[in-house]
Structure 1
Amino acid sequence: MVSLGFITVHPAQEITYITEIAKRAKQYGIIVYRFTPTNIEPGSQLIHGQVYDQQEEQWKQDTFSLPEFLYDRCFYGNDPLSKKAQPIMNWLKLNPSTTFIGYGLPNKLEIYQTLKQDKDLTFYLPHTKKATSSQKILSYLAKEKKIILKPISGSMGKGIIGLFLEKEGIRVVTHQRKNLIKKFFSTKKSITDYLDRLLQTQSFLCQPFLPIQDSQDFPFDLRILVQKNKDGQWQEIGRGIRKGGKNFLISNIGSGGEVIPFEEWSKGLSQSELYLLNENINTIISKLPNVLETKVQRLFELGIDLGLASDGSVWILDTNSKPGRKVVLSTSPNKTEEIYQAPLLYCLYLSEQSIKTNGS
């Protein structure tokens, strides 16, 4: 019987998602486990986690060996559990006896450098460089007037900072959950000190501040979920518009954003505008996953975030190997079964490929 292990940092994370997958696993001959990295015994590699009991339709405590396939849904923070979990996951992914259905992506700078090499995708990439010093940041700001700093290893919009050059000084905008935080620096020393402290905490990328706000200054982007199907081929599962708060930098749902069906939003476009937009989107989603897989180990799913500027240009804002599903589930409820079955079907595909390889 094929086995699938669902891994999260905290025991109750994404419990609804994995339970829906586990409910459907029996029809595919798959047994589903869930556990955290710290549930693994270092010596024996036995795991004290939970198994989904198909008879009773509930999770039960169990001790088991590493499942045949592993599904990484670990999101790391600064908490003690994350600091313990991340090295274990790194070790697991280097272990030749483990098979992840998706191995994840490198940091944002490496993703940018990989995509930049493709002659078609390069046109959709905002100019991006590493923020190496406060002086370099201020020099770039003097040229662009409006820039964004993004943590190189950040996710879910956390830690993004906007810098805006004004007559009296520099306005800094950032977010803390659903709150917009503004600071103003009127002297070069004060902004330099702020940036120096910032760069000591983590590494950042510099990008121009793109005109991807609507007419009322609400930021918005297009989230597209792509996954591999039962034949190991990439396919689009769904798409939706994420709209953030007024004057916010980002439109992430976790920061208070709302979801709008793409079909509803696109009614405001002319037929030719919609045609051109879809042509750009199709170019991106047909190439981006395959380009990334030339540089990284296997991937299973991606959330692709696109910025849609007022002049019709399309920008690749972010690529996430652990995407959420709220955008698709809320705008395309008819995709529910497809979303919950996808990891199971892909496990069967990988199992069949393994049998072919070992049998040849």
Structure 2
Amino acid sequence: METVVQGENAALNIQASRPVLAILTIEDDIQLFRGNRSNFADLIMTGREHGFIVYVLAVRDLKLRRKQLDGFGYEEKTDTWVLGKFPFPDFIYNRIPLREDELQPGVRQKIISCLKDPRVTLFNPSFFNKWSLFKWLRQSPTTRPYIPSTRRMLTREGLGKMMVKHRFLYLKPVSGKAGKGIMAIQVRPEKTLPYRLKIQADRKSITYNCGTISSLWTRIKKESSGERYIAQQGIRLASYNDRSFDLRALVQKNQLGEWEISGIGARVAGSASITTHVPRGGSIDDPEKLLSSAFGEEEAHKLLVKIRRTALIIARQIERGARHKLAEMSMDLGVDQQGSVWFFEANAKPMKFDEPDIRKRSLERIFQYSQYVLKSKKKRPVRTGD
């Protein structure tokens, strides 16, 4: 059972020469800090193996003018979180778990201050916005071909125009996460009620059949609860046993400061789900197996090479668009029934990958890249006055 203890010497045996990484999260009155505790514990233990001091830091305790900060260390033997004093970090790894927490004015101000502070490197300043992602990727002729037709869902007329071009659409919340709030529209002109709307619930989907665009729009507005949405061309994905699947690529900076694929996993849609997300009923599988089943072994190998190359190209363009140095991202990619590769989404704060080899690599890369950043800083010439 997890407990929290207080201790003045929580950061015992700290050597000033060791690099320091703070895992940034939000404070919580009940559980002291929010976020995935097992992930934080894994990061702390991996950091130790790489010679780092790692601790959990609440936004409230991030004071940029202090040399020491209050934070939480982790004791593996007793599975306890220890409150104590820690050195000011060289790196701040943003793992604030909820978008609404990150958007609080006080939190945003702290993040902006970190970006301006030359002493600290902030990994991944904020969640991505879906609309911004597609805007950035459309700006480059290299990434544009991988983007499904996407537009803001602002008016009934705009949605109607899109349905003329595409008989199958996805509606996605701009600030969505893990498939929450996704809807799908199918236009079937031969039916009495030609507009079929599927809404993703927890592990199943709810279907409404509408006779007019007006009634469809009314239902969509009711279900969207005032959230901003994008409408996106639906892609007929390759399938395995009649269930569509997509791919999750984890892309991280490596020990040379370059983007590299840490791993690719596959997610198969649940029987009653319109998405492949595991919390919505999807399941994990092997990408090569699924692609071989759909396209044959030789073509599957070629596709995996193309998918890896595409993920790296997209990561570089997202970083250019964001105008901040990024350390990692995960992205959802799909292969349609004709073998074309498509980009659907990227996440600035990747969730844990369940595949053990990807998981291990994902933790190590954080510290390998941090070491690279430290070496780069030391090589920079020191500017002196006249």
TM range (shorter): 0.7 to 0.9
1:141 match: 163
Shift of 1:111: 1.3
2:311 match: 285
Letter in 2 for 1:162: A
1:204 paired with 2:222, answer no
Residue-by-residue CA offset, 1:5-36 (whole Å, 9 max, x unaligned): 11234625221122122123234332111133
1:90 match: 108
Shift of 1:336: 4.4
CA distance 1:229–1:176, change in 2 (3 Å): same
1:251 paired with 2:276, answer yes
State the identity as a percent.
Answer: 22
1:7 paired with 2:34, answer no
2:220 match: 195
Letter in 1 for 2:265: G
RMSD over aligned Cα, in angstroms? 2.9
1:62 paired with 2:72, answer no
Shift of 1:264: 2.5
CA distance 1:59–1:231, change in 2 (3 Å): farther
Q: Quote the Cα distance in structure 1 between the aligned partners of 2:334 and 2:81.
A: 41
Between stretches 191-200 and 121-130, larger displacement belongs to 191-200
Q: Quote the Cα distance in structure 2 between the aligned partners of 1:16 and 1:83.
A: 20
CA distance 1:345–1:184, change in 2 (3 Å): same
1:228 paired with 2:253, answer yes
1:168 match: 192
Match for 1:345 among 368, 374, 379? 368
Q: Could you say what secondary structure the match of 1:135 adopts?
A: helix
| 8 A contact 1:217–1:247 mirrored in 2 | no
Q: Quote the Cα distance in structure 2 between the aligned partners of 1:248 and 1:224.
A: 21
1:310 paired with 2:337, answer yes
Shift of 1:186: 3.0
Aligned length: 352
| 8 A contact 1:2–1:29 mirrored in 2 | yes
Q: Could you say what secondary structure the match of 1:201 adopts?
A: coil
Shift of 1:281: 1.2
1:127 paired with 2:149, answer yes
Q: Quote the Cα distance in structure 2 between the aligned partners of 1:354 and 1:56.
A: 37
Shift of 1:127: 0.9
1:295 paired with 2:342, answer no
Higher helix share: 1
Residue-by-residue CA offset, 1:51-81 (whole Å, 9 max, x unaligned): 245898853112457522111122326xxxx
Residue-by-residue CA offset, 1:114-168 (whole Å, 9 max, x unaligned): 1122223211111111112122113322442221111122222221111122322
CA distance 1:116–1:85, change in 2 (3 Å): closer
**Structure 2 length as normaliser, TM-score?**
0.81
CA distance 1:299–1:320, change in 2 (3 Å): same
1:51 paired with 2:78, answer no
Residue-by-residue CA offset, 1:178-200 (whole Å, 9 max, x unaligned): 13222233344432323344566
Match for 2:352 among 313, 316, 325? 325
CA distance 1:149–1:237, change in 2 (3 Å): same
| 8 A contact 1:53–1:60 mirrored in 2 | yes
Query: Gapped runs of 5+ residues in structure 1?
Result: none
Q: Could you say what secondary structure the match of 2:321 adopts?
A: coil
Between stretches 117-126 and 7-16, larger displacement belongs to 7-16
Q: Quote the Cα distance in structure 2 between the aligned partners of 1:320 and 1:308.
A: 19
Q: Quote the Cα distance in structure 2 between the aligned partners of 1:75 and 1:6.
A: 11
2:8 match: none
Query: Gapped runs of 5+ residues in structure 2?
Result: 1-17
Q: Quote the Cα distance in structure 2 between the aligned partners of 1:42 and 1:356.
A: 24
| 8 A contact 1:40–1:46 mirrored in 2 | no
CA distance 1:175–1:47, change in 2 (3 Å): farther
Between stretches 336-345 and 130-139, larger displacement belongs to 336-345
Which entry has the higher C-alpha Rg, 1 or 2? 2
2:6 match: none
1:218 match: 243
| 8 A contact 2:169–2:186 mirrored in 1 | yes
CA distance 1:303–1:39, change in 2 (3 Å): same
Q: Could you say what secondary structure the match of 1:324 adopts?
A: coil
Q: Could you say what secondary structure the match of 1:149 adopts?
A: strand
Q: Could you say what secondary structure the match of 1:212 adopts?
A: coil
Letter in 1 for 2:375: E
| 8 A contact 2:56–2:71 mirrored in 1 | yes
Q: Quote the Cα distance in structure 2 between the aligned partners of 1:85 and 1:226.
A: 25
